[in-house]
Structure 1
Amino acid sequence: MYQLQSVTQTYKRRHNVATALDNCNLEVSDNDYIAIVGPSGSGKTTLLSILGGLLAPSSGIVLFGDRSLYGMSIDERTKLRSDKIGFVFQSVNLVTWLSACENVQIPLMLSGKPEEEQRERGLQLLERVGLSDRADHLPSELSPGQQQRVALARTLANDPQVILADEPTRNLDSGTGQQVMSYLSDFHRNGQTIIIATQDAGTAAFAKQRIQLVEGVTYELDRLSAA
């Protein structure tokens, strides 16, 4: 699904150059489940942003399938993100004045789906994450774990091939975090490719493979059994 070849990302800070990724090489197979682990500042979010088509690297090649991700036009990358890539962030980014179902419907609305189809799909996905009884609740009426589950349902709205999750359990208690990771494992068993960035060993243990980032350099660690 992905190939990264000698990918480097640098940032200029005043008169200094900071290196977030340093000559990274990575292959991700279809329906893989990978945890990118490392401390804060190691380059995890930068790597996910590059994989998501959000940040062009300073140098190197990023292939999605057999196409250069950053050889695409901006419009082509936007459509690719809409159709094939789902994002889960630390902050759930729910629209506060929309109900849970309406939040899930947002990607479908942006894709131009009929309103009735949006609602039906939204309800199906909320049922999938155990929130069918919260469909008409506002985010403020939901717990942090429930909000993250709404965000997971929204991620699945357009049935993406790959889900990129940046510290999906960081703001959750351990029990709720385990529940969110169980849902991601379910999505993987149903065919999605999952790539998570995390500092937490328990979260990383759900993945089949771990890639460690140390000062912007990738190191492949042991393969694990998915939970």
Structure 2
Amino acid sequence: MTLSFFDQFMIPQALGIPLIIIAIAMPLMIILAPSSRLITNRLLTLQAWMIKTFTKQLMLPIGITGHKWASMLLALTLLLMSLNLLGLLPYTFTPTTQLSMNMALAVPMWLTTVLIGMRNQPTISLGHLLPEGTPTPLIPILIIIETISLFIRPLALGVRLTANLTAGHLLIQLISTAAFVLMPSMALTATTAFIVLLLLTGLEIAVAMIQAYVFVLLLSLYLQENV
């Protein structure tokens, strides 16, 4: 029976139980809860330092009024990073390879930043649709172009995340299939493909974390324009 390479994007089940439920529960075991002790251990200290550094870097260009978004953006980063890395585990499923889920995250967050800008500073928010010093004949065309680019932002967020993860997973699937098929007849070529597969897996781990950061970073830049 020949299977499609896209079958890896289906949720695997065991005894009728979706394995994604077990996979999603695993990050909860990795993230440590704060301790009530006066002196914490090394892991908690390292986790707190990483969260503080990331939040400070993310909120640096944003005004004081936008700092209330820090916890939400941090939670979104951890969620995306966990879901992206889940797909690299055996018998699991990557939810962020589905465009519907990515758009469900991107559209409300983007729309919230736009509505905040329209409520707090409508003149400045509408001024982004028309660059200063635009010749009069070009005003209608530029307004249409800027409006289209504004509404494309959430689509770009969702498609970027989906495309990067889907392409990486498909490439890993292709190379692993080639290494498995060539092992009996061409051991040297299969070994080379296996080494490439290990390197690609390391690259995919980096891509999973970077794409989560890029998603949240772009949202923070949209928020910066509207606060």
TM-score, normalised by the number of residues in structure 1: 0.28
TM-score, normalised by the number of residues in structure 2: 0.28
Query: As a proportion of its length, which structure holds more helix?
Result: 2
Structure showing greater Rg:
2
Query: As a proportion of its length, which structure holds more strand?
Result: 1
